[in-house]
Structure 1
């Protein structure tokens, strides 16, 4: 086994099944875990069926935590333990991302060549092949060479190297937050690791397809920021 691969899921069933299919076809030998975060009964049943046919491990988070969705901290903690026990990197592929056959293998190859890498991200593209959210900040890159960055990496399609996993315990993650990609990116740099974005390694990303309510940021920003600030949603 070369890596633990995980996908957190909150409904968005069609996109999720495409993510799962692509990972099932990826080159390499991986242990794949899908974390169902209090999705609907329809999604839960479909994931159970897909688990049998696609050969991934399914965790229904309702069975291990009573905390309401989102439960990204729990997912990261469980996944970190699995990766450390196996002595392999952790690769996160979110359910609005579709990898290519060589994506995971190339992430691993880079991590092997750069053992001081903390996080390594595949760059996100839209269906037309253009850099899109959350990596618009890298769209002006002139080179396709690996790019070291102190800017935060997203967990869209990201490898977290085993050396960093050994140094930072995810049980220390802040309970008051919902998402941890910014914090973990910063923590890796703080601990002396280097983070990289790989411009030559694109994945297809459908922004927020894994959490459709976040489309409010574009469709109704007033309502989105009301929910964020006054209802405590989407805490980064």
Structure 2
């Protein structure tokens, strides 16, 4: 029986993306998996299209859904929400700079209750140390945390009940990223959000958006690009 719809939004970063996909292929859960290609370079798109049968995912090039230049997370979320509701299963987002272990989806799914809105897996580096974007939880001692703070979409489950409550088409399409506002909407809708510190996933920060490393190596250039090219609108 199908347990979840899993999606990975992709923009280039082919090596990281393939590592993410191969890890999901080894999941212990029964899932339907879609990779959304947000106008990657031609060679990346061709590879992702060619590998879908071998690696067990459904490939969607966003030109089939929109002609808006990337980033198109809004379009991805709207389409994925519709698919999850039609299938009658929760949605799990795994970004293309994250590597999951086979049991991770089962762990996320085990925390679904009528009150559950979102469940996030804690992100760690190669040494299993909590890293971005969950540094705010690094001093927590509990294995599972109920939180009103925002969850990242690195590896996060959105329950079917929550998906039926809030239409992602209502999100501000001028923004680029939606994890903060969707986390807030879950709480506002009467649901509870959780972070699982006992379910780590490997996160390579900004591996899906390499230009963001400029924030640390060349902050002046980062903020110049952010404001002149209107990038990274939260």
Normalised-by-shorter TM-score class: over 0.9
Cα displacement string for residues 63-92 of structure 1 (whole angstroms, at most 9, x for unaligned residues): 221000000000000000000001100000
Corresponding pairs, count: 233
| SS across alignment from 1:203 | strand
> Which residue in 2 is equivalent to 1:24?
25
| SS across alignment from 2:9 | strand
> Which residue in 2 is equivalent to 1:133?
132
> Which residue in 2 is equivalent to 1:87?
88
> Which residue in 1 is equivalent to 2:231?
233
- TM-score by length of structure 2 reads 0.98
Deviates more, 1:60-69 or 1:120-129: 60-69
> Which residue in 2 is equivalent to 1:38?
39
In 2, Cα distance between equivalents of 1:78 and 1:232: 24
- TM-score by length of structure 1 reads 0.97
- 1:222, distance to aligned residue in structure 2 (A): 1.2
In 1, Cα distance between equivalents of 2:114 and 2:201: 23
Cα displacement string for residues 38-71 of structure 1 (whole angstroms, at most 9, x for unaligned residues): 0011111111121020121000002221000000
In 2, Cα distance between equivalents of 1:231 and 1:37: 17
> Which residue in 2 is equivalent to 1:188?
186
> Which residue in 2 is equivalent to 1:124?
123
In 1, Cα distance between equivalents of 2:86 and 2:95: 22
In 1, Cα distance between equivalents of 2:14 and 2:174: 28
Where does structure 2 lack aligned partners over 5 or more consecutive residues? none
Q: Counterparts of 1:28-177 in structure 2 under 5 Å?
A: 28-111=29-112, 114-144=113-143, 146-177=144-175
- 1:221, distance to aligned residue in structure 2 (A): 0.9
| SS across alignment from 1:154 | coil
In 2, Cα distance between equivalents of 1:56 and 1:211: 22
Where does structure 1 lack aligned partners over 5 or more consecutive residues? none
In 2, Cα distance between equivalents of 1:134 and 1:229: 22
CA gap of 1:231–1:40, structure 2 versus 1, over 3 A, is closer
CA gap of 1:45–1:230, structure 2 versus 1, over 3 A, is closer
- 1:26, distance to aligned residue in structure 2 (A): 0.4
> Which residue in 2 is equivalent to 1:218?
216
| SS across alignment from 1:95 | coil
> Over aligned residues, Cα RMSD in angstroms?
0.8
